[in-house]
Amino acid sequence: MNVERFIEDAIAEIKRNIQGRAIIGLSGGVDSSVCAVLAHRALGERLVSVYVDSGLMRESESERIEELFKDLGLVRVNAQERFLEALRGITDPEEKRMVVG
């Protein structure tokens, strides 16, 4: 696989399919990070990258994500209280996954 060609093709496809503004969810993981960077290269300031801070990341991870992606115009939504309140009293791991999802 030719990585440079893949990047060029992905950017061209995004430009072809997105005419106006766009929004992308950024979790900080590899998949969403790569997608956000490619989309930003294609759309520039027409892209809004959103990171929802659930309060469930490792210590300082949210700050790191915010710093890494500040050039993408990242919007950090503080939803810690909402997530933690929804999880209060739940002990079953499967139920926790359902609530977080």
Each residue of 53-98: pLDDT tens digit?
A: 999 999 999 999 999 999 999 999 999 999 999 999 999 999 999 9
Place of tokens 């399919």: 17
Residue 90 confidence (pLDDT): 95
Does residue 73 sit in helix, strand or coil?
Answer: coil
CATH class of 3-100: alpha beta
pLDDT tens digits along 37-65: 999 999 999 999 999 999 999 999 999 99
Please tell me the distance from the alpha carbon of residue 32 to that of residue 43, in angstroms, as a whole number: 16
- Residue 51, beta-bridge partner list: 76
Q: What is the pTM of this model?
A: 0.85
Question: With 0-12 CB in 10 A as exposed, 13-18 as middle and 19+ as buried, what is 40?
Answer: buried
pLDDT above 90: residue 101: no
Residue 1: the pLDDT is: 82
